[in-house]
């Protein structure tokens, strides 16, 4: 065979060899890095190894995960959201509603008709009620345990609340399951996808509980004066500070970090010095584990202590933001008016983007208020 033929064969085989290497690396990275990390996301070593309520339901699980979040609210602020969980017509799972709630948005308010949860009640996993968790035990403000038994297997899910700090708590979620050989494909899918839904659920519960906690402590929530218009926002919040101090903080908003409820935001300003027309902010926003969005903003107008305007743009959107500060007898009211336009190449509806973005903007406005009021004069 001619020497050139051998060389041609080697060239033809190189893409296949590279593909084999990648095919080997992906499952290895999943098993050795991603899988251990996601199975204990947010949880401490003690929480992972502790025996929790409901562990006895699946004593020798094939798969187990323990995840946790810190909630800036008391356990009794979190508990009402837990007992009303379940797919429509219940309050939802506070996760990706288009997956587990037929696209119906999970409740943002406490539903009095769902607060009387009892052992034995069924909590639908999806809106068609084809499968459901059954409540196994209830220890108010401490733990809620549910299970599902189907086709010879068993799944247990426990929500545990533990005090944390002067007014907060930790919300711990543990899931365990054992399935027969016929259920292994489902188990593999569970291993790969459960974290995505659970993480969103825990963050959704935290967001709602912290709002409830602020209301119970007498804090005033930011208001949404234009809730029905996607990608157009007219939000405001009272702040117990004079307008000049609030404007000065907005002019150097990068110093207000970190934002605990709108976590995953980092900002830098350029150039240093007083903020004026042309000042720019470089912002990184965490959308999901390992996924970040970069936002660039440029100041277009500054009128201390009344207003601050800027244009902003990212890979998928662009828009305009205006802060205005209205004096009040107790301080001022900060208004945030924002319009957003999606780039044409973004293949999702504006209503979906709005559903995820609006609560984050409200949380961030609350964070800004809390940070400003906590600073020494």
Per-residue CA distances from 40 to 189, 192, 202, 220 (Å): 18, 14, 13, 35
Q: Which helix (H) or strand (E) holds 49?
A: helix 45-49
Q: How far is the C-alpha of 169 from the C-alpha of 377, rounded, in Å?
A: 30
Place domain 224-374 in its CATH homologous superfamily: START domain (3.30.530.20)
Domain range annotation of the chain? 36-216, 224-374
| Same fold: 36-216 with 224-374 | yes
Per-residue CA distances from 334 to 207, 259, 306 (Å): 21, 17, 10
Q: What is the pLDDT of residues 105-114, one digit of tens each?
A: 899 899 999 9
- Residue 16's CB: how many other CB atoms inside 10 A? 8
More confident residue, 263 or 25: 25
pLDDT at 211 (0 to 100)? 84
Lowest mean pLDDT among 146-155, 184-193, 348-357: 184-193
Q: What is the pLDDT averaged over residues 300-323?
A: 95
pLDDT band at 1 (very low <50, low <70, confident <90, very high): very low
DSSP 8-state code for residue 94: S
Q: What is the pLDDT of residues 158-171, one digit of tens each?
A: 999 999 988 899 99
Please enumerate in sequence order all residues whose Cβ is within 8 A of that of 216, keeping only pairs 6 or more positions apart, or say none.
77
Find out whether 67 and 173 touch, Cβ atoms under 8 Å.
yes
Beta bridge partners of 336: 235, 323
pLDDT at 166 (0 to 100)? 82
pTM metric for this prediction: 0.69
For the chain, what is the radius of gyration of the CA atoms?
25
Instruction: Report residue 122 as tokens.
Output: 């069924």
Q: What percent of the chain clears pLDDT 70, i.e. is strictly above it?
A: 84
Place domain 36-216 in its CATH homologous superfamily: START domain (3.30.530.20)
Q: Is the pLDDT of residue 293 over 70?
A: yes
């Amino acid at each position: 065979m001619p020497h050139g033929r051998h060389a041609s064969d080697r060239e033809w085989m190189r893409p296949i060899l590279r593909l084999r290497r990648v095919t080997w690396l992906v499952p290895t990275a999943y098993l050795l890095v991603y899988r251990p990390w996601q199975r204990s996301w947010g949880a401490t070593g003690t929480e992972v190894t502790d025996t929790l309520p409901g562990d006895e339901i699946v004593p020798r699980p094939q798969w187990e995960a323990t995840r946790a979040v810190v909630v800036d609210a008391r356990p009794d602020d979190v508990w009402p959201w837990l007992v009303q969980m379940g797919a429509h017509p219940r309050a939802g799972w506070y996760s990706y509603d288009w997956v587990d709630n037929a696209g119906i948005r999970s409740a943002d308010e406490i539903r009095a008709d769902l607060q009387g949860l009892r052992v034995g009640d069924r909590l639908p996993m999806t809106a068609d009620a084809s499968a459901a968790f059954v409540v196994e035990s209830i220890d108010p403000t401490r733990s809620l345990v549910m299970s599902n038994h189907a086709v010879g297997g068993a799944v247990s899910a426990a929500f545990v609340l533990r005090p944390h700090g002067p007014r907060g708590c930790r919300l711990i979620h543990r899931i365990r399951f054992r399935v027969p050989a016929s259920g292994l494909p489902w188990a593999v899918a569970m291993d790969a996808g459960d974290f995505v839904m659970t993480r969103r659920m825990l963050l959704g519960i935290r967001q709602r509980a912290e709002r409830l906690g602020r209301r119970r402590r007498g804090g005033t929530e930011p208001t949404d004066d234009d809730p029905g218009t996607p990608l157009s926002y007219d939000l405001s919040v009272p702040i117990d500070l004079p307008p000049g101090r609030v404007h000065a903080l907005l002019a150097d908003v990068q110093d207000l970090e970190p934002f605990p409820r709108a976590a995953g935001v980092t900002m830098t300003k350029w150039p240093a010095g007083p903020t004026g027309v042309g000042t720019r902010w470089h912002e990184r926003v965490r959308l999901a584990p390992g996924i970040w969005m970069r936002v660039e903003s440029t100041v277009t107008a500054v009128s201390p202590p009344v207003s601050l305007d800027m244009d902003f743009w990212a890979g998928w959107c662009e828009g305009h933001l205006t802060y205005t500060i209205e004096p009040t007898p107790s301080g001022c009211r900060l208004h945030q008016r924002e319009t957003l336009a999606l780039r044409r190449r973004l293949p999702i509806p504006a209503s979906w983007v709005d559903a995820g973005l609006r609560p984050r903007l409200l949380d961030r406005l609350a964070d800004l208020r809390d940070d400003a009021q906590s600073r020494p004069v």
